[in-house]
Structure 1
Amino acid sequence: MPESRRLRRMTERIVVVGAALLDGGRLLAARRSAPPELAGRWELPGGKVEPGERPEAALVRELREELGVDAEPVERVPGEWPLRPPYVLQVWTASLRPGSAAPAPLEDHDELRWLTPDRIWDVPWLDQDVPAVREVLTRLGTRTR
């Protein structure tokens, strides 16, 4: 592979969007069922941004695919968190649109929980989601651990 192409591939990054889906002061957490090394840990639902797709559009699509909901991105949470290369996590707060179905675990998850701020740390979050969850709580004016 030519050096310039190899360097370009090394610096490329793929954005994974995560949703801090909020409802009535609660945050939705999703428990992974796959892959095996992540199963049983909790995350903010979401997924990869496809080539040519805007992150906000990817967030709406991923929430529809994974949870069966119609959601609306509200604002980007400051920060970006590294996942395994070349992936990085970006998080948006989001809300359910009026008339949306209730969230249900359709893909890669086996349980969902609406967590109040005092229960946020009751679940074992994926390591890469912990700083994003802290940032979401800070933006909500809630004490983080």
Structure 2
Amino acid sequence: MSTQIVVAGAVIADTEAGPALLIAQRRRPPELAGLWELPGGKVQPGESEPAALARELAEELGLDVDAIRVGQRIGADVELPGLILRAYRVDRVRGEPRPDDHQALRWVTAVELSDIAWVPADRAWLPDLARAL
């Protein structure tokens, strides 16, 4: 059985409070509902990781694929049974994200990162995300 790659986007933007990270609150599954994560999703066969991330963010956030610029990796792989999670820095070129696939979206600054109720897997990236901000 092959391992599924899941890509997550660290969407960073300048806000009135300074550089901020876009986080998304999960609707499902029940054990993760209400927790916060970096938006993203599964890489399809034959798809590059950056292309998959741009597609997933467009689907989940209601942005045009060409309104998203996927940059460098952030942090190390997070391995779960049957999954490898990889985070990438993402710059939003234009458009306002909408919570199409999540309960809510929120912009958080570096000082707020440790106060968020994260999905367990995404906690591994917190030091790297703080540095990116």
Q: Same fold (TM over 0.5)?
A: yes
Q: TM-score, normalised by structure 1?
A: 0.82
Alpha-carbon RMSD across the aligned residues, in angstroms, is 1.2
Greater radius of gyration (CA):
1
**Superposed, which structure 2 residues align to 1:68-83 within 5 Å?**
68-69=62-63, 70-83=67-80
Runs of 5+ consecutive residues of structure 2 not aligned to the other structure: none
- Letter in structure 2 aligned against 1:15: I
Using the TM superposition, give the Cα deviation of residue 119 of structure 1 relative to its aligned residue in structure 2, in angstroms.
1.3
Q: Give the C-alpha shift of residue 34 in structure 1.
A: 1.0
User: Over residues 69-109 of structure 1, what are the superposed CA-to-partner deviations in whole Å (9 max), with x where a residue is unaligned?
Assistant: 231101111410013x2111000000101xx32111001x1
Residue ranges of structure 1 left out of the alignment (5+ in a row): 1-8, 141-145
The answer to whether 1:137 aligns with 2:133 is: no
What's 1:14 paired with? 4
Q: Which of the two has greater strand per residue?
A: 2
* Partner residue, 1:4: none
Could you list the runs of 4 or more consecutive aligned residues of structure 1 that deviate by over 6 angstroms after TM superposition? Answer: none
> Helix, strand or coil: the match of 2:95?
coil
Is 1:124 the counterpart of 2:117? The answer is yes
| AA in 1 matched with 2:10 | A
Structure 1 equivalent of residue 60 of structure 2 = 66
State the partner residue of 1:5.
none
Deviation at 1:138, TM superposition (A): 2.8
- TM-score, structure 2 length as denominator? 0.89
Once the two structures are TM-superposed, the CA of residue 37 in structure 1 deviates from its matched residue by 1.2
For residues 17-36 of structure 1, the aligned pairs below 5 Å read 17-24=7-14, 25-36=19-30
Instruction: Give 3-state SS (helix, strand or coil) of 1:27's partner.
Output: strand
Q: Distance in 1 between matches of 2:42 and 2:96?
A: 23
Give SS of 1:121's match. Answer: helix
